[in-house]
């Protein structure tokens, strides 16, 4: 295999493929894409529990495979308690403690990431989502 | 208050005076000193050593370069060691925790502006607090045709990962290679723009990497010579086509031939992205735990691994790659790749739609397409209260080197009672080996054992001639000592630069084994 590749290299096949690939990328860029420069933007964090959940929690705690938090909670507490937004037993004070202190594989979140005010909103959301 | 960790050279009164001045700059809300309610979140929860060794005295969160300059004036006045972090998610290497107890963490998470996205030229300019999720969501909202290249955990910092020499899985996977333009605040408070950005009339700060004079960006990566406050990073234009694929291999010893086959394909860019060969347990952790297959002590035996492979329809090694480009080009390239992989007996091929219930396939396909996620953290579910530190040596991309590294690490891990959980990537010309040393962090004895195992691995690889590219806080000095050619000339040079740029040693003392003169042994 290595010898075959070396021969192809000598024959310039790879170089031709590479040039084609790069050319196609460039063409795709120039033909399809805007030339605008996006204005300065701030990654603003709204004080909205549902939005905060999407921003900070959902990547690990969404329903289904591929979400390490959901997987761990399913193992530890059972599948009926695996998905945070389907829990009926979450208390706001518990949510706040876990976020600041971490648990099992979950590292804690710093006040520079989630402010105390944001944490209040997030805890309120998770402790009431199934009750509303 | 008597147990409060403090900077080594400060009395409690001096520390409190420094904190008072920091509060004048940042207000009450962005200076954190409460050990329980605020600073416990600055622990490295995956460390193999005790929390007290890395307990900060305080953390501060500036929102601008001007605030950093004012903070530096206070740090120089009191000689306060500042430990800089970006999003603080550098887990396996220390997370947000400082090198030593008593440091003040300079937490740049709140500097989170996406300053520019240039659609025409394909780049972004971001501050340290911007995560892969932030940048991805921003581009999606703007309907941008640019991809990001995320590290496996999407909550990581775009800037932080780049300055740590991190990698991703699209063709733009060598992150530092994609850097173009950098802003750095030096210890004396002066602000430097590198490369073309330093020309007063430049409009190519993020297009041309070098400019006139030395290219200095590398000096500010994996170092403590300055505080990087802004980077330009090239983004890949969305290609006209994308096809992920997976090839499984049944035997451990197949790693030799996989590496031999993949290396020339990668070198010649027929495989344009990080060519990743993933070990069985790494993939299996997405769906199963160790307890489901083995309840004994020590590493899971071969019989358990064989059963997992059968149940999950995966190999002892699982290769992930992707084709990018117009369909005719992908068709043409695949013919060459397929023939190459078929030369290895037992190879099985999978494409989009073949593994609908396999989260390992899904997250790999996402990463190679620039879609950030957190799926890889499922590896910590392999054991009960999982944590990990990562051992990451580099070698030539040959089958012999791959097998030597694999067997050395596997045997040492087994000796200490741990499973081999690893992957190999052909970066371009080199082999990137990542061994995830997963342990139960609630078990003190196991943590200690993991610590000893890691130290042995560094020794083993130094003897074999392999160096590591990155290190956990607790192993930075040990690994730095292996870069010893010519009586340690490189680290002597680092120390001369450190002393020149930061004579008081206030910036991240000990980062990567670079210490200010006052703290050198």
Domain total in chain B: 4
Dig out the tokens for A130 from the structure.
């199934």
Are A71 and B381 within 8 A, CB to CB? yes
Is residue B175 classed as helix, strand or coil in its secondary structure? coil
Q: Which residue has the higher pLDDT, A33 or B93?
A: B93
Q: A41, A66, A70: which to substitute to probe chain B, counting the most B Cβ within 10 Å?
A: A66
Q: Cβ neighbours of residue B80 under 8 Å, at least 6 residues apart? A: B7, B10, B18, B74, B104, B506
Dist CA B410 CA B402 (whole Å): 12
Q: Same domain for A58 and A120?
A: yes
Residues of B in contact with A107 (CB under 8 A): 45-46, 89, 91, 95
Contact A72, B381 (CB under 8 A): yes
Residue A16: other Cβ atoms inside 10 A: 10
Q: Same domain for A124 and A78?
A: yes
Task: State chain B's mean pLDDT as an integer.
Answer: 97
How, if at all, do strands B236-237 and B104-107 pair?
unpaired
Q: Same domain for A88 and A117?
A: yes
Is residue B228 classed as helix, strand or coil in its secondary structure? strand
Dig out the tokens for B231 from the structure.
């980077």
In a domain, B424, yes or no: yes
Res B81 pLDDT > 80:
yes
Domain total in chain A: 2
Question: Residue A88 belongs to what domain range?
Answer: 49-131
Find the closest chain A residue to B237 by CA distance.
A29
Are A101 and B107 within 8 A, CB to CB? no
In a domain, B255, yes or no: yes
Average of per-residue pLDDT across A94-106: 95
Q: So what's the pLDDT on residue B114?
A: 98
Q: Same domain for A90 and A58?
A: yes
In a domain, A57, yes or no: yes
Residues of B in contact with A108 (CB under 8 A): 40-41, 43, 45
Nearest CB partner across the interface for B373, out of A8, A42, A59: A59
Dist CA B462 CA A52 (whole Å): 46
Q: So what's the pLDDT on residue A131?
A: 66
Nearest CB partner across the interface for A65, out of B133, B289, B359: B359
Q: So what's the pLDDT on residue A44?
A: 53
Res B363 pLDDT > 90:
yes
Q: Same domain for A113 and A82?
A: yes
pLDDT band at B384 (very low <50, low <70, confident <90, very high): confident
Res B235 pLDDT > 60:
yes
For position B367, which CATH number holds? 3.40.462.10
Instruction: Write the pLDDT tens digit of every residue in B421-460.
Output: 999 999 999 999 999 999 999 999 999 999 999 999 999 9
Res B489 pLDDT > 80:
yes
In a domain, A37, yes or no: no
> Is any Cβ of chain A less than 8 angstroms from the Cβ of B23?
no
Nearest CB partner across the interface for B373, out of A6, A18, A66: A66
For position B510, which CATH number holds? 1.10.45.10
Task: Tell me the shortest Cα–Cα distance from A8 to chain B, in angstroms.
Answer: 10
Q: A110, A115, A117: which to substitute to probe chain B, counting the most B Cβ within 10 Å?
A: A110
Q: Which residue has the higher pLDDT, B45 or A11?
A: B45
> Is any Cβ of chain B less than 8 angstroms from the Cβ of A22?
no
Is residue B180 classed as helix, strand or coil in its secondary structure? strand
Average of per-residue pLDDT across B238-258: 98
In a domain, B141, yes or no: yes
In a domain, B210, yes or no: yes
Q: Same domain for A70 and A24?
A: no
Instruction: Write the pLDDT tens digit of every residue in B395-423.
Output: 999 999 999 999 999 999 999 999 999 99
In a domain, B128, yes or no: yes
pLDDT band at A132 (very low <50, low <70, confident <90, very high): low
Task: Tell me the shortest Cα–Cα distance from B29 to chain A, in angstroms.
Answer: 9
Average of per-residue pLDDT across B63-74: 98
Q: Same domain for A23 and A72?
A: no
Using only the alpha carbons of chain A, give its radius of gyration. 24
Instruction: Write the pLDDT tens digit of every residue in A55-80.
Output: 999 999 999 999 999 999 999 999 99
Are B333 and A17 within 8 A, CB to CB? yes
In a domain, A103, yes or no: yes
> Is any Cβ of chain B less than 8 angstroms from the Cβ of A12?
no
For B227, the enclosing helix (H) or strand (E) is: strand B227-234
Q: So what's the pLDDT on residue A14?
A: 41
Q: So what's the pLDDT on residue A12?
A: 43
Q: Same domain for B459 and B349?
A: yes
For position A70, which CATH number holds? 1.10.760.10
pLDDT band at A19 (very low <50, low <70, confident <90, very high): very low
Q: Which residue has the higher pLDDT, B518 or A44?
A: B518
Res B196 pLDDT > 60:
yes
Q: Same domain for B259 and B355?
A: yes
In a domain, B478, yes or no: no
Q: What is the separation, in whole angstroms, between the first and last Cα of chain A?
A: 63
Q: So what's the pLDDT on residue A130?
A: 80
Dig out the tokens for B58 from the structure.
């305080």
Average of per-residue pLDDT across B319-339: 97
pLDDT band at A38 (very low <50, low <70, confident <90, very high): very low
**Interior angle at CA B517, CA B511 and CA B519, nearest 5:** 65
For position B224, which CATH number holds? 3.30.465.10
Phi and psi (nearest 5°) for B396? -60, 150
Nearest CB partner across the interface for B116, out of A14, A38, A67: A38
Res A3 pLDDT > 60:
no
Question: Residues of B with catalytic annotation?
Answer: 93, 469-470
Q: Same domain for A21 and A76?
A: no
Q: So what's the pLDDT on residue B202?
A: 84
> Is any Cβ of chain B less than 8 angstroms from the Cβ of A128?
no
Contact B385, B440 (CB under 8 A): yes
In a domain, A43, yes or no: no
ipTM of the complex: 0.94
In a domain, B477, yes or no: no
Q: So what's the pLDDT on residue B200?
A: 81
> Is any Cβ of chain A less than 8 angstroms from the Cβ of B150?
no
Q: Same domain for A19 and A54?
A: no
Find the closest chain A residue to B267 by CA distance.
A14
Q: Same domain for A72 and A127?
A: yes
Q: Same domain for B213 and B250?
A: no
Dist CA B320 CA B301 (whole Å): 25
Res B153 pLDDT > 60:
yes
Are A65 and B286 within 8 A, CB to CB? yes
Task: Tell me the shortest Cα–Cα distance from A123 to chain B, in angstroms.
Answer: 16
In a domain, B3, yes or no: no
Residues of A in contact with B270 (CB under 8 A): 14, 17
Q: Which residue has the higher pLDDT, B201 or A99?
A: A99
Instruction: Write the pLDDT tens digit of every residue in B224-233.
Output: 999 999 999 9
> Is any Cβ of chain A less than 8 angstroms from the Cβ of B292?
no
Instruction: List, in sequence order, the alpha helices (H) in B368-443.
Output: 399-415
Res B142 pLDDT > 80:
yes
Question: Residue B177 belongs to what domain range?
Answer: 114-237
Res B256 pLDDT > 50:
yes
Nearest CB partner across the interface for B145, out of A32, A112, A113: A32
Dist CA B108 CA B231 (whole Å): 14
Dist CA B59 CA B42 (whole Å): 8
């Amino acid at each position: 295999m290595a010898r075959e590749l070396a021969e192809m290299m000598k024959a310039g096949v790879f170089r031709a493929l590479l040039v084609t690939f790069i050319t196609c990328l460039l063409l795709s860029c120039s033909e399809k894409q805007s030339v605008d420069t996006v204005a300065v933007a701030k990654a603003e964090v709204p004080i909205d529990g549902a939005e905060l959940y999407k921003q900070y929690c959902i990547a690990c705690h969404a329903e289904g495979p591929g979400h390490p938090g959901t997987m761990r909670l399913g193992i530890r507490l059972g599948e009926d308690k695996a998905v945070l937004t389907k829990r009926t037993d979450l208390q706001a004070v518990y949510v706040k403690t876990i976020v600041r202190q971490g648990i099992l594989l979950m590292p804690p979140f710093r006040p520079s990431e989630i402010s105390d005010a944001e944490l209040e909103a997030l805890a309120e959301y998770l402790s009431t989502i199934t009750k509303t | 208050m008597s147990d409060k960790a403090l900077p080594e050279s400060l009395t409690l009164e001096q520390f409190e005076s420094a904190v008072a001045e920091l509060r004048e700059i940042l207000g009450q809300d962005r200076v954190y000193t409460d050990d329980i309610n605020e600073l416990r979140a600055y622990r490295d929860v995956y460390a193999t050593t005790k929390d007290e060794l890395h307990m900060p005295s305080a953390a501060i969160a500036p929102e601008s370069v001007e605030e950093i300059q004012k903070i530096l004036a206070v740090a120089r006045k009191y000689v306060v060691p500042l430990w800089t972090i970006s999003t603080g998610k550098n887990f396996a290497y220390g997370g947000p925790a400082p090198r030593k107890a008593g440091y003040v963490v300079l937490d740049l998470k709140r500097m989170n502006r996406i300053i520019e996205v240039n659609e025409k030229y394909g780049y972004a300019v971001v501050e340290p607090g911007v995560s892969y999720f932030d940048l991805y969501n921003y581009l999606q909202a703007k309907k941008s045709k640019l991809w990001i290249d995320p590290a496996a955990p999407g909550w990581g910092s775009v800037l932080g990962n780049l300055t740590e020499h991190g990698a991703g899985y699209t063709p733009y996977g060598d992150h530092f290679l994609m850097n173009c333009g950098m802003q750095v605040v030096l210890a004396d408070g002066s602000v430097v723009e590198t490369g073309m950005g330093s020309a007063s009339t430049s409009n190519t700060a993020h297009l041309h990497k070098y400019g006139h004079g030395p290219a200095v960006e590398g000096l500010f990566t994996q170092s403590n010579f300055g505080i990087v406050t802004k980077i330009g990073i090239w983004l890949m234009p969305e290609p006209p086509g994308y096809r992920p694929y997976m090839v499984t291999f049944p035997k451990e010893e197949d790693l030799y031939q996989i590496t031999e086959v993949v290396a020339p394909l990668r070198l010649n860019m027929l495989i344009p992205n990080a060519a990743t060969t993933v070990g069985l347990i790494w993939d299996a952790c997405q769906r199963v735990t160790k307890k489901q297959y083995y309840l004994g002590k020590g590493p899971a035996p071969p019989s358990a691994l064989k059963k997992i492979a059968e149940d999950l329809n995966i190999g002892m090694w699982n290769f992930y790659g992707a084709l990018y480009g117009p369909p005719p080009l992908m068709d043409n390239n695949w013919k060459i790749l397929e023939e190459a992989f078929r030369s290895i007996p037992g190879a099985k091929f999978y494409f989009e739609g073949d593994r609908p219930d396999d989260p390992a396939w899904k997250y790999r396909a996402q990463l190679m397409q620039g879609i950030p996620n957190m799926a890889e953290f499922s590896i910590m579910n392999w054991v009960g209260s999982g944590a990990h530190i990562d051992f990451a040596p580099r070698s030539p991309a040959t089958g012999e080197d791959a097998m030597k590294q694999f067997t050395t690490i596997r045997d040492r891990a087994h000796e200490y009672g741990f499973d081999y959980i690893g992957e190999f990537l052909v970066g371009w010309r080199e082999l990137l080996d990542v061994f995830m040393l997963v342990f139960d962090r609630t078990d003190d004895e196991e943590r200690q054992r993991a610590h000893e195992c890691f130290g042995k691995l560094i020794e083993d690889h130094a003897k074999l001639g392999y160096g590591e590219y990155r290190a956990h806080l607790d192993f930075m000095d040990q690994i730095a000592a292996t870069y010893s050619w010519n009586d340690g000339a490189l680290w002597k040079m680092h120390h001369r630069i450190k002393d020149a740029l930061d004579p008081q040693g206030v910036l991240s003392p000990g980062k990567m084994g670079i210490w200010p003169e006052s703290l050198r042994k």
